[in-house]
Structure 1
Amino acid sequence: MQAWMIWVMVAAGLGVAELVATTLDLALLGIAALSAAGLAALGLPVGIQFLGFCISAVLLMALVRPVVRRHMVNTPPVRSGVARLVGKEAVTLTDVARNSGRVRIGGEEWTARPYDSDLVIPKDTTVEIFAIDGATALVYPREEPLLREDLWQP
């Protein structure tokens, strides 16, 4: 049996083992075995083939593995359920005070109370959702413009 066939079988075995283990390490070693198979196909001696396998394995582990691991591990967080509502905008349907209030969040009506318990938010005010407590949205009004009509008197 020719040497390049042995290296291809080693690469295939490492590929199958990678499918079971899913660690990425065995796949990189399989690629290194394929590089050694290429050297064997060129007719180079076994020592050079093994050296090529070792060098390519070290390079793949040192250069490729950290990049792939970083992309596999650092996936962006996905907020789901009521956590996705935090930071969204809503409109008050009633006056929102410590004990009562309703807001419309993206077409749904929610009970609400102000994040600052001493605050009373008037009807038709645009608010931001700071948190969700059970089925109640804790809201706070968006910033007022610098010049309000009731304060502006020429």
Structure 2
Amino acid sequence: MDIDAWVWWLIGAAGLGIGLVITAMPELGMLAAGAVAAAVVGALGGDAVFQVLVFAVVSVALIAVVRPIAARHSAQRPRLATGIEALKGRQAVVLERVDGSGGRIKLAGEVWSARSLDAELTYDVGREVDVVDIDGATAIVM
């Protein structure tokens, strides 16, 4: 049983695609695209040297062009703070007097236990405070 070269290129592209999914390395996807291009050339009757040349050119071109663009894009993307990191730096309103031993605040629409960063300071009801840290389920305020 003789299998055409273009089928081997597709098998290689599928293997590279599986590797891409397993490792999340985008370069494998670019190599898979090169293998698909070589399979097209093989299916159209191109000889083995031309198929390898197309694979190399398409793969290198994709890696040379797409990879720097993707790197720039990921470097420019702002990191979104989530969870407790998103609460740090926000303002809250004191619901029950807050001092070094405890109290209650309203932070992001929720009631939180809180304590003062400086144990000597107290914050009375209605005062706005800044959240500087979260310790477990307690907001540290100043």
SS at match of 1:28: helix
- 1: CA distance, partners of 2:86 / 2:40: 52
Match of 2:46 in 1: 44
Q: In structure 2, do the counterparts of structure 1 residues 127 and 63 end up closer, same or farther at CA, with 3 Å as the change threshold? A: same
Match of 1:149 in 2: none
Tell me the percent identity: 33
Is 1:108 matched with 2:111? Answer: yes
SS at match of 1:129: strand
CA shift for structure 1 position 66: 4.2
Q: Is the 8 A contact 1:103 1:112 kept in 2?
A: no
Q: In structure 2, do the counterparts of structure 1 residues 90 and 13 end up closer, same or farther at CA, with 3 Å as the change threshold? A: closer
CA shift for structure 1 position 56: 0.8
TM-score by length of 1: 0.66
Q: Which moved more, 1:27-36 or 1:71-80?
A: 71-80
TM-score by length of 2: 0.71
Q: Is the 8 A contact 2:9 2:39 kept in 1?
A: yes
Deviation per CA, 1:74-119, whole angstroms, max 9, x where unpaired?
Answer: 7835532x44432232211244344554323333141322x35554
- Normalized per residue, the structure richer in strand is 2
* RMSD, aligned α-carbons: 3.1
Q: Which moved more, 1:97-106 or 1:28-37?
A: 97-106
SS at match of 1:52: helix
Letter of the 2:55 counterpart: F
Give the structure with higher Rg (CA): 1
Q: In structure 2, do the counterparts of structure 1 residues 99 and 17 end up closer, same or farther at CA, with 3 Å as the change threshold? A: closer
Letter of the 2:91 counterpart: E
Match of 1:132 in 2: 134
Aligned residue pairs total 138
Letter of the 2:17 counterpart: G
Letter of the 1:110 counterpart: S
Letter of the 1:57 counterpart: S
Match of 1:31 in 2: 33
Match of 1:59 in 2: 61
Q: In structure 2, do the counterparts of structure 1 residues 127 and 66 end up closer, same or farther at CA, with 3 Å as the change threshold? A: same
- 1: CA distance, partners of 2:105 / 2:50: 73
